[in-house]
Structure 1
Amino acid sequence: MQYQKTYRIFFLLFSVLLVHNSQATDWNDVVGIFSENGKFRLDIGTWAMKENIPASHNSWATRLVIKRLDGPSRGAVLPNHVVGIFSENGRVRLDIGTWAMKRNIPASHNSWATRLRIIRLNDPSRGAVLPSNVVGIFSENGKFRLDIGTWAMKENIPASHNSWATRLVIKRLDGPSRGAVLPNHVVGIFSENGRVRLDIGTWAMKRNIPASHNSWATRLRIVPLNKLALGRITYGTVVGIFSKNGKFRLDIGRRAVKKEVPASHNSWATRLKIRK
């Protein structure tokens, strides 16, 4: 009986393993869900389950919450975390052992039923900004947005250009500037040296770009420049802001803007929101 109890607890521990990288789990990632010891994995097909459940089926048993078991259950889900997967109501949890499944599925088994995607069921625009997210950077009032192309800038700055004006830090303006950058936060974007900030108005840009303008130059990615800064974009991290296609980047220096705007300048054009 003691053996059975230990066995059950063992299979209630999981690690989420990304198939292709070691960063925070993103909604587009293909993942496998494995036992903590790495021997077995989740299979959602009939090799393990009683039946194949269609993706359209929505119930308490398909609306799930991931909780970390080996540390604080907050922040991004990382592949080295040990987690449990629970029903939304908190009453039931996933067990990949034979207490729930027809058989134990070996970790080496690779099929459509073991290659999975974790998809947020509530509004994904509310989650932390990730390097993989395509974002727009808007004025706080929502009327205007950043365009890193020549409709607003003096020239297109290649992604390879690395200078004080392309190495940027995001700071929160409406609360403590720590933790993850969230879409509802009001932020400022500053040079790494703290002297200059992004201004999307005509003091720095050739024109005000309306929020409705959608182009390669307004669809952006925010990428940490320190390779050790994995997962969510956080305040204080040095980042680059790149076009979605990766060819160009934001430069807030004189090469790209009409005027370098001092960090102390506070206006509608420097108080910004990042939207996914």
Structure 2
Amino acid sequence: MLVHEMAGEVSLKKRSKLSRQESNRSGKDSEIGSDHQATGSCNEEKSRGGIRVYKIVVLGDGGVGKSAVTLQYVSRSFPDYHDPTIEDSYQQQAVIDGVPALLDILDTAGQVEFTAMRDQYMRCGEGFLICYSVTDRHSFQEALEYRKLIQKVRASEDTPLVLVGNKFDLYSFRKVSTEEGISMARQFGCPFYETSAVFRTYVDEVFHALVREIRAREPGKNGIHLNERKPHRHSKWWRLRSIFALVFKRRRNAGYHSS
């Protein structure tokens, strides 16, 4: 289901690294396990400056190109190198179907040691890109497992999804056919795209399609929420991303000291 769309991208803002003060706050949050088990939904910032904020999580097996797709979307560049253990978050403002949107994107790592936090971002994310590589059949099979995890965490919800088969430019290495991707997307009940992060093919489309999926499930279906109640200063979504950053900062520091 490859769909062309025209959407004017307005501006780019990549999240800066945590300040020392933010890291200290995050450390306190990470040390208090009960904070993550607290009752209540992830009531987050729904609008900023009158623009609807969409919390998007990018999932998939390691090496499928999740970060490359994300970075192509937010910075229009293909990374020469990306540390596969690093999780990061980005903001991208765009106009989708004539309506401004601010995409708050969490690019996740697939390492096993971080599965304990997976339920948290699956609860707090509003929509999910499930990615696999068309050159890796195992990653295609893992896409189904990610779908099952989302269903487990949010069993009673119709969660917005988009299925993404990346690296379709590597024709001679293809292991998963387009028809198989379409079939899985039908099983998920979601849009499907094959992308090339290298050539930026259908990269904008996957993110914009997910915003449309989120909007379609909202009251009014226009995605505009200008009179939302102001959130707490540090929401669960903010704390979750901060904790990820703190964990990786400590890992990097430990690596420097051991070398």
Higher relative contact order (CA 8 A, sep 6+): 2
TM-score, structure 2 normalization: 0.24
The structure with more radius of gyration? 1
Indicate the structure with greater helix content.
2
